[in-house]
Chain A
Amino acid sequence: MNVVSANIGQSVPRIDGFAKVTGQATYAAEPHPPGLLYGVIVNSLIARGRIEAIHDEAARAVPGVTEVMTHHNRPHTALFEKSYVDGLGVPGSPYRPLHDAEIRFNGQPVAVVFAETFEAAREAAMLIQVDYERWPHNADFDAALHQKYMPSKTRSNYVPPKSRGNASEAYALSPVKIEGRFHLAPEHHNPMEMHATTVIIEEDGALTVWDKTQGPQAVQAYLASALSLSGKKVRVRNPYVGGAFGSGLRAQHNVFLAALGAEMLKRPVRVTLTRPQMFTHVFRPEAVMDIALGADRDGTLQSIIVEGVTDTSRFEHNMENVVVWGLIGYKCPNATADYKIAPRDTYTSSDMRAPGAATGVNLFEMAVDELAWACGMDPLAFRLHNYSEIDAMHNMPLTSNALREALLQGAERFGWNGYPPGPGSLRDGRELIGHGMATGIWDAMFSPTAARARLTSDGRLHIATAASDIGTGTYTILAQTASEAFGIPIDRIDIELGDSTLPECPTEGGSWTAASAGAAVWLACQSLREKFLKALAKSENTPERIKQSEVTLTEGELHGVRDGSREVFSLQEALSFIGEASIEAEETAKPGLRDKISEMRKARFTHSAVFCEVRVDEELGIVRVTRLVNAVAAGRIMNPKTAASQVRGAMVMATGMALHEESLMDERYGRFMNHNFSEYHIPSHADIPEMDVLFVDEKDEEVSPLGIKGVGEIGMCGTAAAIANAIFHATGKRYRTLPIIPGA
């Protein structure tokens, strides 16, 4: 079957854009069922201890308040702790909202006030007084480092570091070496849309749960399990998600509490978090990495030693792949790494955009830059000399690796002309100018995914899968895929996503959705097309002249060619010949499509090369990023427009990581204190220069069925390091703690 590729690879504007900008896209906090109750969460003001008493009399006296739900009066939930493990499966003892009187972290929900109006619920929530028995806690990261450990059970995606050679001996013998402690501040995800849930009670008593999540099926399974409900009684919907960055990977407490409240009150319920409450759950862990690197005088890397620690809660063992990236990406004969987690009395840290790599790649690339300069070598030349064509840690070939092309093309676009002049030597007026670069690497993952394609009598193609479009453009790229695979214009395609009842799709994350859901849609459309053409050929109502024609389907029309003459007829006509109102096919994409996927034998990564120019007023501590170029090698690019937008968005976020974002923990209280957008600084427009994103050609038929690698996260990896390295080049000073803020 030779379908003319029409739509994959084109810069199609977002098909959901109009609905979004005209307010027609429904987000989790927007359905308005009759009789809706508004729930407002009351948060713990201590980090560890026990609730002694909850005084809710004043709250209950507020007109419109219907209930104050606490651990005393909540409905029955699942008996066993394991029933509360969510889709992310972080080992440990999962947090169970309103389970008992114990307080495990500051900001933990202690009560939910339900009222007829949001205003009444919020006012009443302010009137609740809680008496606590306070227990000692530790929320100080430096103190937690003394208790670092490796959990006996690790997260399923954890990649243990694998040593090679003799790193410490090689380090000792290396003529050129650097070592240092690198640090990353904790960050909060802060998508534009705050976490929210609306629970609707259907006529049969089933719950339809509109939730801000990246995985409706994971939340559905979690709710059914934790609330001991029949799976059929819960449906989770998230057709539109206003950003998530990983904060929607776990079922957050708002969804549990909203469903619990609906069960308790037999009323539809909405629970919305405020911006300050967005600082009471997941965050990117704080991290330290002790990195020691040794090289020969000619700049050949001889030794890598990395020890990394990230923080977790006292009750769950959250882990990240922080220390492995340098061992994977550089061909260094001697390398070793160690990773541990440090417990503190906070909520459990969690995955945030490029988890592990955003931390580990950026901090490692800052160290590599130090070594390159110590060798007296152009940082670009140092990378070109030392990067590995294979996964050097597992000694495993890659499905593709266009890092070299990315480095060269990025350098050309930026105008990186050989060895830059020495640090602190470029100046314009009072500003020092610095150029920095770094490489980026991120997993190219694939997860089995199902999709359904259905052609209806109006000639439209309906695609359905339980994927989530968290703002990345999934609707659009799936429409492009369907358009090409089936042969129908994009404006005759409807995409249905974000519903737990749709064909199975893993939680959106890890940049695997484009590759996985894309492949599923491709397969389903191909399958439907075959089925459709077969049925047409077979049906007794199909006119003989058509049966005797060579029938092809393109651009949403059927072409029958016989004896050199061509007859064009519509999908609607064809369906009427078949005698069906609709025809559908469902397929599951597995890594084995095309028989070229070598799941175990090859490693798969996305690569990038980032180049940055900064201007620094050193005296005043002001850094301006003036140019950013990112050359990305991510296999096949489905839609350069939405893909570049993903990379740019991540580069903005990485600029925040380099210069602005930091959740300030007051360890005395165990609370992040700058819990609002006034004081938690994300970059403003003024902080962001024109960003140049280019995609390097990288044909890779092995990485995933459609040759796609995904682009949601790669923009984080390397960008913060390129900025930090440019600051060094401008000033001659090393800043090893991110963010680099005025007065640092």
Chain B
Amino acid sequence: MRSFSYSRPASFDEACRVPERTRFLAGGTNLIDLMKSDVERPAHVVDLKSLSMDQIEELPDGGLRLGALATNAGTAEHPLVTGRFPLLASAILAGASPQIRNVATNGGNLNQRTRCHYFYDPDMVCNKRSPGSGCSARGGRNRIMAVLGTSESCIATFPSDMCVALAALNAVVRLRGPDGERAVALRDYHRLPGETPWIDNVLQPGEIVTSIDLPSVSFGEHYTYLKIRDRLSFAFAIVSVAVGLDMESGVIRRGCLALGGVGTKPWCVPEAEALMRDRPPSHSLFRDVAECILEGAVADRDNAAKLKLAPRVIERALWQAAEGTPQSQTCKTIR
């Protein structure tokens, strides 16, 4: 990797006052890899680990606040998370490997970068890596790339599992920057690539993710995280679905749904979720939901299979949630 300066600020104020070309370091499972591959070339690395942001706390409304520096593993295993937000725990456990989850943080998960082959290879042109250079993923080996939210300049998939669950759970991201604190809905946190694919999210220079707030939900067992990937563990999603359903006497009062592996960001369509309001589960309803959420999906050279696969995964996930049989992340049988 290229040389960089390293600092470990003692306070938020110090951390937020950063020069140009700074990257914040938390778990480092993605940033360090990218630096080794010469994709990220920060002049300054500011290590946030001495800031106290690793707590998981209850919120007054029954929700939770997840510290940005809490590890993925610590979050997935936390009794408050497994008790109240098993959907989130399940999604976290569907991602990466135990070793990575032990180090990777919640804030880092939000800010991880795409796994697009062409982004990861600095010899290739890539608008996300080098603004304006072009997109070599288009027309290339793009089986893993996005079919939703793409633009002429980028078709890179946002790779997180955790964020798909956070989107379904309508989480709120709390930020702290030079101008103070603010909160952004997770669904609005990541940006579509448009003409500026190098900007992944709404973070401003010097802004730090401090925590993720989860509003209270009452899905009971009516949730699932269903992930389809190229091997049974330790691979990024081809298609993944996070679902939570508020069910009452066999009727869906409210349905929350997000997709991973197919979009340039965690993919939610409120109109699709609204279709489920006060409706009993049915094949035709779930087919309509899938059709609605996938509206506008476009394949490129290698990823047409996602168009075929995604509706099936969505429908299966909706049935798992409706029937209260969430997908296990250890037993690989899919009900």
Q: Is B234 an interface residue (CB 8 A)?
A: yes
Interface residues in B83-127 by Cβ distance below 8 A to A read: 115, 117-118, 120-124
Interface segment out of the listed A514-522, A591-599, A616-624? A616-624
Q: Is A675 an interface residue (CB 8 A)?
A: yes
Q: Interface digits, A655-699 against B, CB 8 Å rule (1 contact, 0 not)?
A: 000011000111011010111101101011111000000000000
Docked complex Cα distance between A122 and B3 (Å): 10
Residues of B within 8 A of A685 (CB): 233
Q: Is B32 an interface residue (CB 8 A)?
A: no
Docked complex Cα distance between A600 and B230 (Å): 46
Is there an interface contact between B334 and A687, defined as CB atoms closer than 8 Å? no
Docked complex Cα distance between A659 and B238 (Å): 15
Report A177 CB to chain B, min CB distance, Å.
31
Is there an interface contact between B228 and A742, defined as CB atoms closer than 8 Å? yes
Docked complex Cα distance between A340 and B306 (Å): 36
- The 8 Å CB contact of B306, one of A45, A675, A743, is A743
Interface segment out of the listed B43-51, B137-145, B183-191? B137-145
Docked complex Cα distance between A665 and B236 (Å): 20
Docked complex Cα distance between A126 and B1 (Å): 8
Interface size of A by Cβ–Cβ distance < 8 Å?
41
Docked complex Cα distance between A615 and B333 (Å): 9
Interface residues in B1-44 by Cβ distance below 8 A to A read: 1-3, 37-38
Is there an interface contact between A686 and B332, defined as CB atoms closer than 8 Å? yes
Report B206 CB to chain A, min CB distance, Å.
27
Is there an interface contact between B232 and A666, defined as CB atoms closer than 8 Å? no
Is there an interface contact between B334 and A742, defined as CB atoms closer than 8 Å? no
Is there an interface contact between B117 and A620, defined as CB atoms closer than 8 Å? no
Interface residues in B280-311 by Cβ distance below 8 A to A read: 305-306, 308-309
Nearest 8 interchain pairs by C-beta: A743-B305, A686-B232, A686-B233, A45-B123, A673-B117, A664-B141, A684-B233, A126-B38
Residues of B within 8 A of A276 (CB): 37, 121
Docked complex Cα distance between A622 and B309 (Å): 11
Given the contacts A665-B141, A679-B117, A684-B234, A429 and B333 also touching, CB distance less than 8 Å? yes
- The 8 Å CB contact of A681, one of B230, B309, B333, is B230
Given the contacts A619-B316, A624-B232, A684-B232, A668 and B3 also touching, CB distance less than 8 Å? no
- Residue picked from B118, B122, B334, most chain A C-beta under 10 Å: B334
Is there an interface contact between A126 and B117, defined as CB atoms closer than 8 Å? no
- The 8 Å CB contact of B3, one of A123, A431, A684, is A123
Is there an interface contact between A617 and B334, defined as CB atoms closer than 8 Å? yes
Q: Is B277 an interface residue (CB 8 A)?
A: no
Is there an interface contact between A620 and B335, defined as CB atoms closer than 8 Å? no
By beta carbon, the residue of chain A nearest B230 is A681
Is there an interface contact between B1 and A678, defined as CB atoms closer than 8 Å? no
By beta carbon, the residue of chain A nearest B139 is A668
Docked complex Cα distance between A676 and B143 (Å): 16
Report A118 CB to chain B, min CB distance, Å.
11
Given the contacts A620-B313, A666-B140, A660 and B231 also touching, CB distance less than 8 Å? yes
Is there an interface contact between A687 and B233, defined as CB atoms closer than 8 Å? yes
Q: Is B279 an interface residue (CB 8 A)?
A: no
Docked complex Cα distance between A741 and B308 (Å): 14
Is there an interface contact between B232 and A742, defined as CB atoms closer than 8 Å? no
Is there an interface contact between B38 and A687, defined as CB atoms closer than 8 Å? no
Residues of B within 8 A of A429 (CB): 333, 335
* Additional A-B contacts beyond A665-B141, A742-B309 (14; CB < 8 A): A122-B1, A276-B121, A429-B335, A620-B228, A620-B313, A620-B334, A624-B333, A660-B231, A669-B124, A674-B141, A676-B120, A685-B233, A686-B233, A743-B308
Q: Is B235 an interface residue (CB 8 A)?
A: yes
Docked complex Cα distance between A401 and B123 (Å): 52
By beta carbon, the residue of chain B nearest A431 is B333
Is there an interface contact between A660 and B334, defined as CB atoms closer than 8 Å? no
Is there an interface contact between A681 and B1, defined as CB atoms closer than 8 Å? no
By beta carbon, the residue of chain A nearest B117 is A673
Is there an interface contact between B238 and A743, defined as CB atoms closer than 8 Å? yes
Is there an interface contact between B309 and A621, defined as CB atoms closer than 8 Å? yes
Is there an interface contact between B238 and A742, defined as CB atoms closer than 8 Å? yes
Docked complex Cα distance between A666 and B236 (Å): 20
Residues of B within 8 A of A668 (CB): 136, 139-140
Residues of A within 8 A of B115 (CB): 678-679
Docked complex Cα distance between A733 and B228 (Å): 20
Docked complex Cα distance between A681 and B232 (Å): 11
- The 8 Å CB contact of B335, one of A430, A622, A624, A665, is A430
By beta carbon, the residue of chain A nearest B3 is A123
Given the contacts A123-B2, A429-B335, A679-B115, A660 and B230 also touching, CB distance less than 8 Å? yes
Q: Interface digits, B123-161 against A, CB 8 Å rule (1 contact, 0 not)?
A: 110000000000010011101100000000000000000
Interface residues in A590-615 by Cβ distance below 8 A to B read: 615
- Residue picked from A619, A684, A743, A744, most chain B C-beta under 10 Å: A743
Given the contacts A123-B1, A620-B309, A620-B316, A664 and B230 also touching, CB distance less than 8 Å? no
Residues of B within 8 A of A123 (CB): 1-3
Q: Interface digits, B216-236 against A, CB 8 Å rule (1 contact, 0 not)?
A: 000000000000111111111
- The 8 Å CB contact of B230, one of A615, A671, A741, is A741
Is there an interface contact between B312 and A675, defined as CB atoms closer than 8 Å? no
Docked complex Cα distance between A744 and B143 (Å): 11
